[in-house]
Amino acid sequence: MPTYDYRCESCGYAFEQFQSITARPLRTCPNCKRQRLQRLIGTGGGILFKGSGFYQTDYRSESYKKAAEAEQKAVTPSTPQTGSTKESKGTTTDAPGQKAPARPKRTSVRGK
């Protein structure tokens, strides 16, 4: 059952009323008892699908998205590393016989 917004045109009293869709709109103001009550047209509530078959990550908050983006920037360097002449398979030609430290693996931010 939806919640409707009402406002009295006489005294300005505003309130919400939980009613059935098939119920007739209220006309009498509970504050001044006059027949000047109007049901307001609202935008309604957003639909949020929950349960199996829907992705939880579809409705992430803005703070979560910003934190995930900051984490991804921290893992991925923005400038190339200096001192390395070869970047294939984790080896460099700086010191013979030594391997460069392994790069961290990228992880998916979107979830499972």
pLDDT of residue 52: 62
Block means of pLDDT (10 residues each) for the chain, 112 residues, are 90 93 94 94 68 63 84 73 52 57 67 54
Backbone angles phi, psi at 15, to 5 degrees: -160, 170
Asked if 60 and 52 count as a contact pair (C-beta separation under 8 A), the reply is no
Residue 101 lies in a domain: no
Residue 10 lies in a domain: yes
Residue 27 lies in a domain: yes
Domain count for the chain, please give it: 1
Residue 30 lies in a domain: yes
* Whole-prediction pTM: 0.40
Q: Which two tokens stand for residue 64?
A: 């979560």
pLDDT of residue 23: 92
pLDDT of residue 39: 92
For residues 64 and 70, what is the distance between their CA atoms, to the nearest angstrom? 10
Residue 88 lies in a domain: no
Domain that holds residue 30: 3-40
Residue 86 lies in a domain: no
Residue 23 lies in a domain: yes
Residue 16 lies in a domain: yes
Region of 33 on the Ramachandran plot (φ > 0 left; ψ -120 to 50 alpha; else beta): left
Q: Where in the chain does DSSP place strands (E)?
A: 3-8, 14-18, 37-40
